[in-house]
Amino acid sequence: MDDDVVLSAPLFATMDADETRTLFESMQQVELTRGDVLFREGEPGDRLYVIATGKIKLGRRSNDGRENLLSILGPGEMFGELSLFDPGPRTATASSVADSVIYELGHEQLVAWIEKHPSVAKHLLEALARRLRRTNETLADLVFSDVPGRVAKALLDLSTRFGEETDEGVRVAHDLTQEELAQLVGASRETVNKALADFATRGWVRREGRAVVLLDLDRLERRAR
Ligand code: CMP
């Protein structure tokens, strides 16, 4: 079923199909329902995860209780590796925003796997570098872009993971509440709502509960720049 998605993760980027399958089969499957917390920021971490189906949000909380979402990850993506490569507590809280199936791998097993297949390390580095690139971009957007620009960018980013082509446009079933979308954009719910309403009036998007249909990608891309 979801094997192929999981096996496409950088973790499995070795040519040996038998060994890959053995590693995959040694991984524990975890099922989550929306709202389940897998681990919390600050806890010790001894395993990483690969998503087979569903969506996982990674968030941080400020001392006064406000929340910021670092990312929403989908099938084939990995998380929980930072506390291995840079030993220390979990840097974010991971919870599910949709029913999800994920596979976990203990750090010890991961280290043994990398030692046996050094090429895997290169692919993991690539994944980390991609993430740093994205994080830098998000950071720059927080400083240089206005909220509508960041909303447009977040929608386009979510569409690369969760978008589905339809006759009308790209339907993105993000499963996020308005509050979560605002936490992802780093703005208040009201401001994000206003931007979305404006996009809808202009005919760039149509809102459908916890999904949005991107009707005019060109305009959204220009607004995101
Ligand atoms: P870890 O610190 O073990 O637990 C939280 C995980 O969230 C972390 O490993 C990464 O896998 C993931 N993570 C942390 N920061 C980001 C980010 N900026 N973008 C995407 N994922 C992140």
Give the Å distance between the CA of 92 and the centre of ligand 1: 6
Retrieve residue 51's tokens.
């998503």
Q: Confirm if 80 and 94 have CB atoms less than 8 A apart.
A: yes
Q: Are 205 and 220 in contact (CB under 8 A)?
A: yes
Cα-based distances in Å from 43 to 31, 38, 59, 80, 89:
20, 11, 14, 11, 5
* Length of the chain measured in residues: 225
* Ligand 1 contact via 90 beta carbon (within 6 Å): yes
Q: How do strand 170-172 and strand 163-165 relate by DSSP bridges?
A: antiparallel
| Residues of the chain falling short of pLDDT 70 | 1-2, 15
Q: How far is the CA of 50 from the centre of ligand 1 (A)?
A: 12
Q: What was the pLDDT predicted at 119?
A: 85
Pocket test for ligand 1, best of 40, 58, 69 (most atoms within 8 A of CB): 58
Can you say how many angstroms the Cα of residue 43 is from the centroid of all Cα atoms in its chain?
Answer: 20
Cβ–ligand 1 contact at 93 (below 6 Å): no
48 CA: nearest ligand 1 atom = 3
pLDDT at res. 51? 95
Q: What is the structure's pLDDT at 11?
A: 82
Which residues lie below 8 Å from residue 157, measured CB to CB, with a gap of 6+? none
Domains annotated for the chain, with CATH where assigned, are 3-142 (2.60.120.10), 146-224 (1.10.10.10)
Contacts of 192 (CB under 8 A, 6+ apart): 147, 151, 178, 181, 182, 185
**What is the atom index within ligand 1 of the atom nearest the CA of 82?**
9
